[in-house]
Amino acid sequence: MVQINLPKNSEVKKGYYYKDKTGSKNIRKVNIYRWDPATGENPRIDTYEVDMDNCPSKVLDLLNKIKNEIDPSIAYRRSCAHGVCGSCAMNMDGKNGLACTKPHSEIKGDINIYPLPHLRVLKDLIGDLSTLYKQYESVQPWLKTTKKIDDTEHLQSKDDRSKLDGLYECIMCACCSTSCPSYWWNGEKYLGPAVLLQAYRWIIDSRDEDRKERLKKVADELKLYRCHTIMNCTNACPKGLNPAKAIASIKKMLATS
Partner 1 sequence: MNNNPLSPHIQIYNWHISSLVSISHRISGVINILSLSLICFWVWSLFLGNESYEVIFNFFNSFIGKFFVISFVWSYSFQILSEIRHWFWDLGYGFELKTSKITGVLVIVGSIIITAFLYSIRGILL
**118 in contact with partner 1 (CB under 8 A):** yes
**9 in contact with partner 1 (CB under 8 A):** yes
Q: Which of 22, 231, 239, 254 binds partner 1 (CB under 8 A)?
A: 231
**116 in contact with partner 1 (CB under 8 A):** yes
User: Among 17-25, 30-38, 77-85, 197-205, which window interacts with partner 1 (CB under 8 A)?
Assistant: 30-38
The answer to whether residues 168 and 141 touch, using CB atoms and an 8 Å cutoff, is no
The answer to whether residues 30 and 50 touch, using CB atoms and an 8 Å cutoff, is yes
**12 in contact with partner 1 (CB under 8 A):** yes
Give the interface size with partner 1 as a residue count (CB under 8 A): 46
Determine the length of the chain. Answer: 257
C-alpha to C-alpha distance for 170 and 126, rounded to whole angstroms:
20
Residue with smaller CB distance to partner 1, 44 or 217: 44
Residue with smaller CB distance to partner 1, 8 or 82: 8
Q: Which of 121, 170, 195, 197 binds partner 1 (CB under 8 A)?
A: 121
Instruction: Name the amino acid, one letter, at 163.
Output: K
Report the run of H or E that residue 183 belongs to, with start and end. helix 181-186
Residue with smaller CB distance to partner 1, 5 or 146: 5
Beta bridge partners of 66: none
**47 in contact with partner 1 (CB under 8 A):** no
State the minimum distance, in angstroms, from the CB of residue 216 to partner 1: 21
Q: Which residues of 128-162 are buried (b: 16+ CB within 10 A; e: fewer)?
A: ebeebeebbeebeeeeeeeeeeeeeeeeeeeeeee
Beta bridge partners of 108: none
State the minimum distance, in angstroms, from the CB of residue 195 to partner 1: 18
State the minimum distance, in angstroms, from the CB of residue 130 to partner 1: 9
For the sheet with 89-92, list strands across it.
13-18, 44-51, 27-34, 111-114, 89-92, 95-98
What is the contact surface with partner 1 in residues (CB under 8 A)?
Answer: 4, 6-7, 9-10, 12, 33, 35, 37, 40, 42-43, 91, 93-95, 112, 114-122, 127-128, 179, 181, 184, 228-232, 234-235, 242, 244-245, 248-249, 251-252, 255
